[in-house]
Structure 1
Amino acid sequence: MTVTGKTAIVTGAASQRGIGRATAHALAAAGWNVAVLDLDEVGAKAAAEEIVAQHGVQAFGLGCDVTDEDSVATALGTLSADGPPVGALVNNAGITSPTPFLNVDGTEWDRIFAVNVRGAFTITRAVAPGMAERGFGRVVFLSSVSAERGGGVFGGVAYSAAKAAQLGFARALARELGPHGVTVNSVAPGLIDTDITGGLLEGDRKAALLAGIPVGRNGRTADVADLITYLCREESSYITGATYDVNGGSHIH
């Protein structure tokens, strides 16, 4: 059951400075073939080309809206026709919202849950049966420290609630899929230097945030990508239902 004969799907991995893109590269470096699924089809294809050039594995860049079942089915149909079977899924696609609860409306709430929770459900529901049938699978959810400490970083209540829903999703799914050789884990990053947070990490705000991080720096995308790749290894088969914090000690519980 070597990973070289399998494909790892990473959703939302088109952004050049995002955790998803770094994860796609780390998985490819470990021997996985990689499928980048993103709303930005041009960016997804560019990421795939970059991965092929740097790592020599098969890579696929596919336009996909994870909240839409037809879009997911189309992308996975293309992947099943052209690539090795899916052995890993990294539910990285997500959006944040800083809107305070007293200002949030139902539309905004639903938008955050649509991508972070419904999107993860839609694609996981599509690939999990094949994993279970083949007796091997690795599913990793990208949650957030906001789910554990109750926001207070960049996301508001809607974001924290959606990311907390992912933790419950992953834990329950781990119980169901464990007998089929499929592990399900979550990673909860803290302050990571990405396009989302980069512009906010300047001056006094940056100094204040870093003052609360024992290791004295913000996180790098590689810090998260390396852990995800570890959880996707064949050898990590006895780790499931766990949540891994990657926050430099800013939240210890």
Structure 2
Amino acid sequence: MSPHGIGETWEDDTHRVVLVTGAGGGLGSCIAGRFFDRGYRVALTDLDEQTAAKAATELDPTGQNAVGLALDVRDKDAFVRVRDQLVERWGAVHVLVNNAGYSKVEPLMDISPESFDAVVRTNLDGPFFGCQVFGAYFAERGYGRIVNIGSLAGQNGGTATGAHYAASKGGVATLTKVFARELGPHGVTVNAVSPGPQDLPVVRDSVTPDRLAQIEASIPVGRLGRPAFIADMCLLLAAEHADAVTGACWDANGGLYMR
């Protein structure tokens, strides 16, 4: 029996297919671009379809190996629709990267129920629904890779993020283990990558320059993280020969959190 299911090998697929959520910009687009460069067919999804389509066109103007689709990760049925679209378009999906996230900086005691719910629905419900829908699909095929994007905030409670963001990312780490245990016997691995502060516009826009300088000074390696390396970590966890790693959380935080 092959690692992909009875009779199935990579040679049966012209290209491996990856779905990256929240890929209209930032870290998600970086991850999608890395997979594309490695020969994957890439589905870039975003809440805004035009944003996703623009990012996909920038990767592949021909539209043959990259497509931008609308996906509201708070809606389980939306994952089902996108899965079916991709299977119809490219025949299969092999990798899911749950990257979509929502960060909001608010004082702890000022977080309203509505604000808490909005952050958690994107950051925790989204990966849960994605793992459910694609986990079942991958398990039926006998092969799949899921990579969840967590955060240092989910491990240390956060320093420059809101409590709702930190709590939701802590939940992602636990969901990763739960789904890894459930899906492991079916040839599906589920792992998480937990970045520290990254050199991204969203980070620079969410904190003041003085506060950002303080954060950089507190990082043992002395600089913000490189998004391209996070993308490389996702690629490695998605590899065919990565089957020995599941339920893991790979840290990339410049030494801010050591364990």
Structure 1: gaps of 5 or more residues: none
Match of 1:170 among 157, 176, 179: 176
User: How many angstroms does 1:53 deviate by?
Assistant: 4.7
Partner of 2:43: 35
How much does 1:57 deviate?
A: 6.3
Structure 1 residues 219, 57: CA separation in 2 closer, same or farther (over 3 Å shift)?
A: farther
Structure 2 partner of 1:224: 230
Q: 1:79 aligns with which of 86, 111, 124?
A: 86
Q: Please tell me whether the aligned partners of residues 204 and 212 of structure 2 are also in contact (alpha carbons under 8 angstroms).
A: no
Structure 1 residues 57 and 184: CA distance shift in structure 2, 3 A: farther
Q: Structure 2: which amino acid aligns with 1:137? A: G
Q: How many Å apart are 1:98 and its aligned residue?
A: 1.6
**2:121 corresponding residue in structure 1:** 114
Q: Aligned equivalents of 1:121 and 1:201: distance in 2?
A: 29
Alignment match, 2:31: 23
Q: Supply the distance in 1 between the matched residues of 2:134 and 2:75 (Cα, whole angstroms).
A: 15
Deviation at 1:240, TM superposition (A): 0.7
2:144 to 115, 137, 144: 137
Q: Equivalent of 2:244, from 225, 229, 238?
A: 238
Give 1:50 deviation, angstroms. Answer: 2.2
1:70-118 deviation per Cα after TM superposition (whole angstroms, max 9, x unaligned)? 3333322222211231111000001012222211121111111110111
Match of 2:17 in 1: 7
C-alpha deviation, 1:156, in angstroms: 1.6
Which amino acid in the other structure matches residue 13 of structure 1? A
Following TM superposition, by how much is the alpha carbon of 1:42 offset from its aligned partner in structure 2, in angstroms?
A: 1.0
Amino acid paired to 1:79: L
Q: Which residue of 2 aligns with 1:68?
A: 75
TM-score in terms of structure 2 length: 0.90
- Whether the 8 Å contact between 2:131 and 2:179 is mirrored in structure 1 is no
Whole-angstrom CA distance in 2 between matches of 1:112 and 1:200:
15
Amino acid at match of 2:16: K
Judge conservation of contact 1:31–1:57 (CA < 8 Å) in 2.
no
Which residue of the partner structure matches residue 195 of structure 2?
189
Name the TM-score, length of structure 1 as normaliser. 0.92
Report the RMSD for the aligned CA atoms in angstroms.
Answer: 1.9
Partner-residue secondary structure (3-state), 2:153? helix
Q: Shift of the alpha carbon at 1:4?
A: 5.1
Higher alpha-carbon deviation: 56-65 or 91-100: 56-65
Instruction: Give the one of 124, 133, 138 matched to 2:131.
Output: 124
**8 Å Cα contact 1:60/1:79 also seen in 2:** no
Q: 1:89 aligns with which of 96, 99, 103?
A: 96
SS at match of 2:108: coil
Give the distance between the partners of 1:207 and 1:68, measured in 2 at CA. 38
Letter in 2 for 1:14: G
* Whole-angstrom distance in 2 between the partners of 1:205 and 1:65: 32
8 Å contact kept, 1:32–1:57: no
Q: Which runs of 5+ in 2 are unaligned?
A: 1-8
Give the AA of the match of 1:145: L
